[in-house]
Structure 1
Amino acid sequence: MTKKRPFKLAFASLVVLSMLMVGFRIATYEEPRISLENYTIEDGFQLSVLASESLLKAPVSMDFDNQGRMWVVEMISYMPNLEGIGEEEPTGKISILEDLDKDGVADHAKVFLDKLILPRGLAHVYGGLLYIDGPKLWFVEIKNDKPGKKTLVDPVYAEGGNVEHSSNGLMMNIDNWIYNANYNFRYQLRNGKWIKEPTSARGQWGITKDNFGRLYYNNNSVNLQGDFVLPNKVIRNRYFKPSVAENKRLASNTVYPIHQTSVNRGYQPGVLDEKGFLKEVTAACGPLVYRGGVFPEAYTQNAFVCVPEANLIKRNVLHFNGFQTTASQAIEGKEFIASTDEGFRPVNLFTGPDGAMYIVDMHRGIIQHKAYISQYLAEQLASKKLDTLQNAGRILKVTSKAIKPNPVPDLSKASSTQLVAFLSHPNGWLRDRAQQLLIQKKDLSVVSQLIKLTKATNSFSTDIHALYVLEGLNALSFESLSDLVNQSKNPELIAHAVGLLERFATMQHVAKMKAVSTQLLAQNNQTVDLYLSMSLTPWLNLSEATFLPFLAEIDKKYANEKIFQEAITSGLGGKEEVYLASMNPTDLLKKNLTVAITNRQKKELNSIFVTEKNAVDNRTKGLKLFRSICATCHGADGKGIQDLAPPLNESEYINGSTRRLASIILHGISGPIHVNGKLYQLNNEMPALINNKEISDQDIADIIQFTQSAFAKVGKGISANEVKKMRDKKPAGTGIHTEKQLLEDDFDK
């Protein structure tokens, strides 16, 4: 339902005039009037609709420009039907949403980019837009809300994998690096060139950060994961993969929906409770550590998580315990937002320039991809007609009833001095964007103001923001950093600063760095000790005798702390044998160093240093093979095609032995056959794949894996080795199966 919103006369005249001048078609604006009565939200908060269809379709991500306008990624072609046919069509868009009558609801949309293939993310960085189109990562300049010069940043950014497991995120962190979910690389534009370097692989869909710069993420079956340390600090040793410091599960996976849930494996024991309610997350995504500053203090740096399969959003309270982070359910038995509207599909969360929390609601029936969707879920969706809920989408806004959102400043007009002031703002979005705009301006006149801010301690990490503006302006030196490290009382600032000192590692600075390290150890602070141990690598390359004793002291001080032993192992990359021979390591460290030495001898690198692109999972490979080989006769939906092939859906040959199914695929079948009690008099033989040298045993296993997921009542697996056994077990006679042989042979012997 919609309502027409008349303009005030004077404002309308200006809008119409401007539209005529730039060639826009004049239209009567209509805004949504959508009921949120079947949504519950935690006491003290309110939920509103900012934008909805027909202004946008299938939104999956968003960002705000420097004027505070919403830019939305629309992944329109995702699962257009239960068969997923048409998904590769270039129908995706990036649109700019505007509120021309200034009433708080978007009433106009203009397309910035269209004809995109499954776009999944965007980010306003470096004065332009970083975005994903198919497998490629692009950067485009923005000229009067129109795309300008395009630069290909990474041709294989999202190559491989399924759309549910393709790279996304594009989040600028406080360290001036752009991080991703589901990809083991980070990016930075430096001196006009795009830099791509390995980082740890994190999560599945969505990525977020806290004020310190630690990263948080999740995957479909894990509510919240995170790193205990800053990114790229504990992976310095290429032959050692940390297991304690990164990729840690932080919270319970328990979920509390307010209605019966249709989920992919709902038929499996333990997925639903006795009432049919989901027990644990199965599609968790889009986490957000809230840093907006306009929620009550107890909500600051809470981790919110989207749970679209259960139509809700979780709130996790983060607990920072020394060098470890944990999270707990905010209110036991109750979620922050929950709805009985099965079209509510929150997939991403963001803090806005006003400090409010923004929800990207894909608002559709099907969110499970064809490669994984079970027959059980397909039937559930069809029975509720959720497969017909297409071409919708919403952006929702969460605000506190007690604290009004901040006015949205126009940062595109802000002076350098004003931007420096925003580094102390309670809203993390404003701090982050001010940091990046100051770097882009290259205005060295504010350096003295920034240096002053590096000595200001507050809960907003203002000092760290200022430090990285200086880094981006190339305004740091060994002397300025060492002075800052010696004078600062903030361990978190020191953690960042001691890492930045690495780029000034030269012989002329060795003696001074020794003095800095001595002073830092004297602080007897866990955070300082941890980051010092991870930052001595380039100094060790200059003087082992000077800096190995510092690591030995930290080793003995934290002999039973695994995270410290991983940190030291990272810092000792390439120096393991020297340390073992001269420093008498503790047992935990000795074990780690031995692992690293063995891996180096075997040339077994941490996988992040050898993986260039995401691998295609077996079921996605199986789907592609099925469509190219099997769907021509059996139909993309597995329902069969008249006079060509019987249905696979609910077939006893799909629900039965997977070895028998492998044998059918390998050797073919001829003659009449009964399927689901119906006789099919087929004129043609089903072709055998046994002599097709391009189809491997693993390919056939993948095809079967897909059919089990898509068409079987209860999916079963099969290995490539089992397929091979069926390859060697040819049917008697012609070598092609008949129905009689299929029924009489015991394929599982």
Structure 2
Amino acid sequence: MSIKTLLPLMFAAGSIASYGNESPVPQTDESLYAKVKPLSPEESMKTIQVPKGYKLQLVASEPMIKEPVDCVWDGNGNMYVLEMTTYMQDADATGQAEKKSRVMKLQDLDGDGKMDKSTVFLDGLHLPRMILPLDDRVLLCETDTLDIYSYRDTTGDGKADEKVLWYKGGPRGGNMEHQASGLIWNIDNWIYTSKGGERFRMRDGKVERIFSRSSNTQWGLDHDDDGNFATGFSGLEVSFQYFQTPIAYSSSKFPGELEEGFNEVWPIDNIPDTQGGRRRLRENNTLNHVTAACGHGVYRGDLMPEFYGSYLLCEPVGRLIRRANVDTSKGYKVMKNAYPKSEFIRSTDANFRPINLRTGPDGALYIVDMYRGIIQESAWTQKGTYLRNVIDEYGLYKNVQMGRIYRLVPEDFNKKTPAPKLLDKSSTELIAYLGHKNGWHRSTARKLLVLRNEKNLIEPLKSAFSKSKDSQEKIEILWTMDGIDAVPTEVLKSQIFGSDPRVAVHALRILDPLLKKNDPAAMAIYDKLLLDVSEPQVLVQAFLSAKENAHSPAVVKYRDEMVVKHENHPVVKMHINQWKEDMRKAREWREFQQALKGKGPHFERVMQSGAKHYKSLCFACHGNDGLGTPMAGTDSTLAAPLVGSPRVTGDPKKLIKIAMHGLIGPIDGKTYPGAMESLASHDDKYIADVLTYIRNTWGNSAKLITDKEVRQIRHQYRNRKSPWTIEELEK
């Protein structure tokens, strides 16, 4: 049966039958499988379109690496590759939790860009998802935990033999697509991840942690030269978000910040394996909208200066990479597709799955291609779903245990690049790298200087700062001095009122701790700012800093005076409006908490916990209002509404079953994209709290669900692997 024959059956009301726990052999159409059979790296590269004047070079491929999901470099240019070797080895994710994944250490011995030597740096891991080289240590975090460990090779054989707990985060449940990623060392010397709102830094050899805003994004996190995030939320079908300011100040979303039609994509493959079904496909089977935006990056290399500062993202379902130009003509950022109705990089190879992008020590753009058939996690590949039928008929499940890393370079580039060897350089030598044209070198040198924390560098840094004529180098030096607690206030003041607004903005950010403490020098600077400054960038940062540090009447006064004075400024007002919106949401949260008063402390705690869980996960498909998130370009929502639903307010056992195993098929005669995912990986209390929340919000009213009730259903149906249908639940 062809996919065209299957589609009407799959969307007919009541047509999806219940499946047992046995897994029949998928019925693959061999003529369709011929379209998705794996190609050699050389054959695959011929199918990948790149901009005119550029070429791809193969850096590494199977068997050297398998199932790669990220790559990073230490200061000496050794590449570390994260491998998720058990990820989706079939459509049911059989054996996915087994600890068989690895971190590979790769070395390019002759500088030609192709890896010559590989070593298993770490083995026996559970789907490693975050990695950050420090100095001779490498930080790593695995799936289902927020514990971060530091690893070191003390013998020089390329294998880690020292393991130290760097941060105790504890267990983390949930679907692996909804767990933290990132672990990036930003311009402010804080280490950020997606989800959770935690950030870390090293001070005097100790780890500090604070909570700030969560980016609440998914797979992929990077930053530009000013510390603004490149990230997005594929669950909401959003390409980029939170790029207007550093996340420490605001999770701003401005009207029109993505040009009209920006989230529409232009692939050249025609394999219809999208979770969203036919509504996410054009008539020719090409993807019509971002659905798996991930692996976000910012190109900061010196090899292709014409691309410098471009924001990038991977769309592995569409087998493409988008490059966005950043238009700042309005005073804030607007993302525009650099190739209208086309893409930066795209392929006809069904297994081309770009999922991460990095700027390398050589200045090239590195592309991590997981190269496989299935790219969605098992929550969305359940039997009976549109996506599962495509996977089975095309035989995509067969294509596993491969992977490639490419680099994009100019077409005439054939130069050999020596390894940087920054770990071997003295701190004084590293200062010169703070002005390097390649952002990788600048960031790595600053990181190493901050980790070394040598106070005798104050004078050399001040000297380098006074001699520099380059804005970015000045910014790097300022943050280096801040990282070792050595930035003089008089230097900050001279830059805040200097002629370079970019440097002034960063000087204001570094001044924040003094402003928070009501330091007289900081207060004097703000007195002057209120009178003398008109540069939009500086005004915006002054407002953001005052807003964020308004812990005293004096700073509140600065903030409020700026609001009055600049609320009609064409740029500043955008940030003021965002702050007012944040205040409105905070007020609604307080009102929500107040409304719980008098209903008992237990109910209050459960509802607060459930609201937190809902807003970090469920809202993506069901919407903040419980009515379902609109699916762009269609008349559908990503999931069924929860408001007034008899499945929500009715028999709690049915609702627990849905939460535990998921739900497929038509609901009230309507089919939604994909399937309701299972929440079984979360603990009983998590599920009980979030279900109680949706049963008692938006006008819904029903009794609490307890973790004991969840535990009973979990045990009773412990052998069930497939999602429920409405017909089954109502028998």
Structures share fold, TM-score greater than 0.5: yes
Q: Distance in 2 between matches of 1:327 and 1:353?
A: 26
Residue 504 in structure 1 maps to residue 514 in structure 2: yes
Match of 2:303 in 1: 294
Residue 364 in structure 1 maps to residue 372 in structure 2: yes
Q: Sort the Cα spacing of 1:551 and 1:72 in 2 relative to 1 into closer, same or farther, 3 A.
A: same
Q: Distance in 2 between matches of 1:613 and 1:98?
A: 44
Q: Distance in 2 between matches of 1:106 and 1:316?
A: 30
For the residue of structure 2 that corresponds to 1:554, the secondary structure is: helix
Per-residue CA shift, 1:445-481, capped at 9, x if unaligned? Answer: 4323322444567666111110111011111243443
1:600: how far off?
5.2
**Native 8 Å contact 2:563 2:576 kept in 1:** yes
Match of 1:532 in 2: 542
Q: Sort the Cα spacing of 1:521 and 1:89 in 2 relative to 1 into closer, same or farther, 3 A.
A: farther
Q: Distance in 1 between matches of 2:256 and 2:230?
A: 9
Mean Cα displacement is larger for which, 596-605 or 134-143? Answer: 596-605
Mean Cα displacement is larger for which, 125-134 or 696-705? Answer: 696-705
Q: Distance in 1 between matches of 2:541 and 2:363?
A: 31
> 1:513 is matched with which residue: 519, 523, 533?
523
Percent identity between the two aligned chains: 28
Per-residue CA shift, 1:175-228, capped at 9, x if unaligned? Answer: 001111233211112233322222322221111111111112012222222331
Match of 2:504 in 1: 494
Q: Sort the Cα spacing of 1:455 and 1:255 in 2 relative to 1 into closer, same or farther, 3 A.
A: farther
Match of 1:420 in 2: 431
Q: Distance in 1 between matches of 2:496 and 2:702?
A: 63
Q: Considering fraction of residues, name the structure with more strand.
A: 1
1:58: how far off?
0.5
Q: Distance in 2 between matches of 1:469 and 1:246?
A: 35
Per-residue CA shift, 1:396-448, capped at 9, x if unaligned? Answer: 11101256676442112222232111111110000000101112233344323
Q: Distance in 2 between matches of 1:158 and 1:359?
A: 31
Q: Sort the Cα spacing of 1:463 and 1:596 in 2 relative to 1 into closer, same or farther, 3 A.
A: same
For the residue of structure 1 that corresponds to 2:239, the secondary structure is: strand
Match of 1:27 in 2: none
For the residue of structure 2 that corresponds to 1:462, the secondary structure is: helix
Residue 193 in structure 1 maps to residue 202 in structure 2: no
Match of 1:204 in 2: 218
Match of 2:113 in 1: 104
**Native 8 Å contact 1:129 1:139 kept in 2:** yes
**Native 8 Å contact 1:169 1:179 kept in 2:** yes
Match of 1:397 in 2: 407
Residue 233 in structure 1 maps to residue 249 in structure 2: yes
Match of 1:705 in 2: 662
**Native 8 Å contact 2:252 2:575 kept in 1:** no
Residue 383 in structure 1 maps to residue 393 in structure 2: yes
For the residue of structure 2 that corresponds to 1:446, the secondary structure is: helix
Q: Distance in 1 between matches of 2:517 and 2:188?
A: 26
> 1:37 is matched with which residue: 46, 49, 54?
46
**Native 8 Å contact 2:493 2:525 kept in 1:** no
> 2:568 is matched with which residue: 554, 560, 566?
560
Match of 2:461 in 1: 450
Q: Distance in 1 between matches of 2:336 and 2:321?
A: 14
Match of 1:62 in 2: 71
Q: Distance in 1 between matches of 2:530 and 2:500?
A: 12
Q: Sort the Cα spacing of 1:274 and 1:66 in 2 relative to 1 into closer, same or farther, 3 A.
A: same
Q: Sort the Cα spacing of 1:560 and 1:247 in 2 relative to 1 into closer, same or farther, 3 A.
A: same
Task: Name which structure has the greater RCO, CA cutoff 8 Å, separation 6+.
Answer: 2
Q: Please, which runs of 5 or more residues in structure 2 have no aligned partner?
A: 1-39, 595-604, 622-645, 678-690, 706-726
Q: Counterpart of 1:450 in structure 2: which amino acid?
A: L
Q: Distance in 2 between matches of 1:506 and 1:592?
A: 20
**Native 8 Å contact 1:60 1:361 kept in 2:** yes
Q: After superposition, where does 1:244-643 map in structure 2 within 5 Å? A: 244=253, 252-265=262-275, 267-269=277-279, 271-297=280-306, 299-321=307-329, 323-373=331-381, 375-401=385-411, 407-455=418-466, 461-486=472-497, 488-505=498-515, 509-510=519-520, 513-519=523-529, 521-536=531-546, 544=554, 550-560=558-568, 564=572
1:265: how far off?
3.7
Q: Counterpart of 1:346 in structure 2: which amino acid?
A: P
**Native 8 Å contact 2:256 2:334 kept in 1:** no
Q: Sort the Cα spacing of 1:90 and 1:556 in 2 relative to 1 into closer, same or farther, 3 A.
A: same
Give the greater-gyration-radius structure (CA): 1
**Native 8 Å contact 2:249 2:548 kept in 1:** no
Q: Counterpart of 2:163 in structure 1: which amino acid?
A: K
Q: Distance in 2 between matches of 1:393 and 1:62?
A: 12
For the residue of structure 1 that corresponds to 2:435, the secondary structure is: coil
Per-residue CA shift, 1:721-740, capped at 9, x if unaligned? Answer: 79999x9xxxxxxxxxxxxx
Mean Cα displacement is larger for which, 396-405 or 201-210? Answer: 396-405
Q: Sort the Cα spacing of 1:32 and 1:460 in 2 relative to 1 into closer, same or farther, 3 A.
A: farther
For the residue of structure 1 that corresponds to 2:541, the secondary structure is: helix
Q: Distance in 1 between matches of 2:199 and 2:340?
A: 37
Q: Sort the Cα spacing of 1:72 and 1:226 in 2 relative to 1 into closer, same or farther, 3 A.
A: same
Q: Distance in 2 between matches of 1:83 and 1:538?
A: 46
Q: Counterpart of 2:662 in structure 1: which amino acid?
A: Q
1:275: how far off?
1.3
Match of 2:680 in 1: none
Q: Counterpart of 1:339 in structure 2: which amino acid?
A: S
1:598: how far off?
6.8
TM (normalized to structure 2)?
0.73
**Native 8 Å contact 1:697 1:723 kept in 2:** no
Q: Distance in 1 between matches of 2:62 and 2:517?
A: 63
1:709: how far off?
9.7
Q: Distance in 2 between matches of 1:91 and 1:508?
A: 53
**Native 8 Å contact 1:254 1:281 kept in 2:** yes
1:493: how far off?
2.0
Match of 1:182 in 2: 195
Q: Sort the Cα spacing of 1:542 and 1:452 in 2 relative to 1 into closer, same or farther, 3 A.
A: farther
Q: Sort the Cα spacing of 1:343 and 1:189 in 2 relative to 1 into closer, same or farther, 3 A.
A: same
Q: How well do the aligned residues superpose, as a CA RMSD in angstroms?
A: 4.2
Match of 1:213 in 2: 227
Q: Counterpart of 2:224 in structure 1: which amino acid?
A: D
Q: Distance in 2 between matches of 1:614 and 1:594?
A: 16
TM (normalized to structure 1)?
0.71
Residue 162 in structure 1 maps to residue 178 in structure 2: no
Per-residue CA shift, 1:292-337, capped at 9, x if unaligned? Answer: 011142x111112111111111111111246521111111222111
Q: Distance in 2 between matches of 1:440 and 1:706?
A: 49
For the residue of structure 2 that corresponds to 1:218, the secondary structure is: coil
Q: Distance in 2 between matches of 1:154 and 1:69?
A: 24
**Native 8 Å contact 1:41 1:336 kept in 2:** yes
Match of 1:643 in 2: none
1:537: how far off?
6.2
Per-residue CA shift, 1:340-390, capped at 9, x if unaligned? Answer: 111111000000001000011111111111111263222222222221111
Q: Distance in 2 between matches of 1:118 and 1:531?
A: 39
Q: Please, which runs of 5 or more residues in structure 1 have no aligned partner?
A: 1-30, 235-241, 571-587, 621-660, 667-689, 728-744
Q: Sort the Cα spacing of 1:436 and 1:443 in 2 relative to 1 into closer, same or farther, 3 A.
A: same
Q: Counterpart of 2:345 in structure 1: which amino acid?
A: I
Residue 82 in structure 1 maps to residue 91 in structure 2: yes
Q: Sort the Cα spacing of 1:746 and 1:56 in 2 relative to 1 into closer, same or farther, 3 A.
A: closer
Match of 1:687 in 2: none
Q: Counterpart of 1:413 in structure 2: which amino acid?
A: D
Q: Counterpart of 1:701 in structure 2: which amino acid?
A: I
Match of 2:642 in 1: none
Q: Distance in 2 between matches of 1:619 and 1:706?
A: 17
